[in-house]
Amino acid sequence: MLQRLKQILLLRGSVGRLGYLGTGLAFFCVKFLLDTTIARLFNQDWQLVNYLIWPNSGSFFINQLPQDKRDFALVLLAAAVPFIWTGVAFTVARLKNAGLPLWLVLLFFVPIVNLLLILALCAIPEKKELPPLPFETAIEARTRRMHKKVAGESETAAFILAVLGSAGITGLLVWTSAGLLKSYGFGLFVGAPFGLGWTAAALYGIPKKRSMAECQLVAFASMMFCGAAFLVFAFEGIICLVMALPIASTLVSLGAIVGFVFQSRPWPKTSTSVLTLGLCAVLPALMAAESFLGPDPLMREVKTSLIVDAAPEMVWKYVIAFPPLPEPTELFFRTGIAYPKHATIEGTGVGAIRHCVFSTGPFVEPITVWDAPNKLAFSVESQPEPMHELSPYHIHPPHLDNFLVSKKGQFVLERLPDGRTRLEGTTWYTNRMWPEAYWGFLADRIISSIHLRVLKHVQSLAEQPTP
């Protein structure tokens, strides 16, 4: 037993379905007990639900966490290393046992997708269990007959049926997550596109085995059809579809690869049933878990600065309030993303109310620090929509409400030795769209562009020669 375990951990052995499932459950129980013990030592709370909390910027930038949380996270990470290696080793061993490509182990590190991979590996039979010649179970034969009744012998009809079927399933999942549960998480942005590529390839492979290129083609056609349907039926706008395209297309391609592998192999009746029921149940369940058990988003910080050829006293008066800006020339501002237009202020000192008016409405910003001409800080009492969706219709998707939330901001004016001013603007905000690292990266770029629009306007005003 120990010798076999050693071979697996050295990536030399293989393991069957029951061994893979049993080992996974045993190691998970041990890991949960270990994590719970570590949490108690650090006076932190740890429950099973913590394993459903998806990665965010705090997961990648541990050193930026508070001291107590950083130490706790580092110890948890160190304790997780042997379990990560064990999971990878047993997944490789299971892939060998099932005769599947070993590169699929990379999916072990993709949230949501890794759960689908584990489910599949617990259901897929061992390679030796498969007969040497292709065969059809009663379910497969019935499926092919039904497919033939709808599509006949036409390759075009089979392609269209795969596109419509996979797009319909994905559309239902997207509506469940975004429309019903108001959740924009990994289940929506990772699981749904991956499942789209998988189901498109699998459906296209019902009448006969398809090539990798054919599976990729039908998967991307399904993705484009889904996007067009979301636009036509007023579910989403062009801007958000374009922003989601990089992550969606990557995951659709991965799903199509896995779909190609599965549609090219014969499956026993039990495995077919387990995989079908599992895929239909896992994604909605995970979407519901994200909606009700998802973590609070981390605070993100965006800083932007430039040098103004004027003294801080001159710059200050345009920081607290500024006249209208010219209309933007940047493409993404012209397509609907909110941009600043002008700012006014009511009163002076702490407690004054600053109104920064954007193209979608005003930010109401009570002043919390008034240190003229060095620092102006404010909280955000209310804010407008982050964008007007570019769409043939007037639409208001759920993600426009309370998903990208500005919390506070500040301007810092630093007097330089040569009399000029280093002007720095900072915004703190939260983002509830996941993967947080992906959407946070895009939001950081947009907020930085908003900063630059304001800072350059202040710069041009302050540098004007005095009459």
Helix pair angle (138-151, 269-293), 10° resolution: 80
The pair phi, psi for residue 297, each rounded to 5°, is -70, 150
pLDDT in single tens digits along all 467 residues of the chain: 677 777 888 888 889 888 898 998 898 899 888 988 988 888 887 877 667 655 555 555 556 667 777 788 788 888 888 888 899 999 989 988 888 888 888 888 877 678 778 888 887 777 765 554 444 556 567 777 888 888 888 999 999 999 999 999 899 889 888 888 888 887 888 888 988 998 899 889 888 889 999 999 999 999 999 999 999 988 898 989 999 999 999 999 988 988 888 777 655 444 544 555 566 666 676 677 666 666 677 889 999 999 999 999 999 999 999 999 999 988 888 888 999 999 999 999 999 999 999 999 999 999 999 999 999 999 999 999 999 888 888 888 888 888 899 999 999 999 999 999 999 999 999 988 878 878 888 999 999 999 999 999 999 999 987 65
Run of H or E residues at 148: helix 138-151
Does residue 273 contact residue 142 with C-beta atoms inside 8 Å? no
pLDDT number for residue 464: 86
Does residue 386 contact residue 402 with C-beta atoms inside 8 Å? no
Does residue 390 contact residue 335 with C-beta atoms inside 8 Å? yes
CA–CA gap between residue 428 and residue 295 (Å, rounded)? 18
Q: Which of 139, 135, 101 is nearest to 117 (CA)?
A: 101
Q: Which residues pair with 378 in a beta bridge?
A: 367, 409
pLDDT number for residue 269: 45
| Residues sharing a CB contact under 8 Å with residue 298, sequence separation 6 or more, in sequence order | 56, 57, 58, 430, 436
pLDDT number for residue 11: 81
DSSP symbols for 258-304: HHHHHHTS---HHHHHHHHHHHHHHHHHHHHHHHHHPPPPPEEEEEE
Residues shown for the chain: 467
Q: Which amino acid is at 268?
A: P
Domains, in order of start, for the chain: 1-98 (no CATH), 141-295 (no CATH), 299-462 (3.30.530.20)
| Residues sharing a CB contact under 8 Å with residue 102, sequence separation 6 or more, in sequence order | 92, 95, 96
Collapsed DSSP state (helix, strand, coil) of residue 262: helix
- 45, with CB counted inside 10 A (0-12, 13-18, 19+), is exposed
Helix pair angle (269-293, 192-204), 10° resolution: 160
Does residue 235 contact residue 205 with C-beta atoms inside 8 Å? no
Run of H or E residues at 407: strand 404-415
pLDDT number for residue 81: 86
pLDDT number for residue 454: 96
Q: Which of 325, 335, 303 is nearest to 456 (CA)?
A: 325
CA–CA gap between residue 34 and residue 244 (Å, rounded)? 38
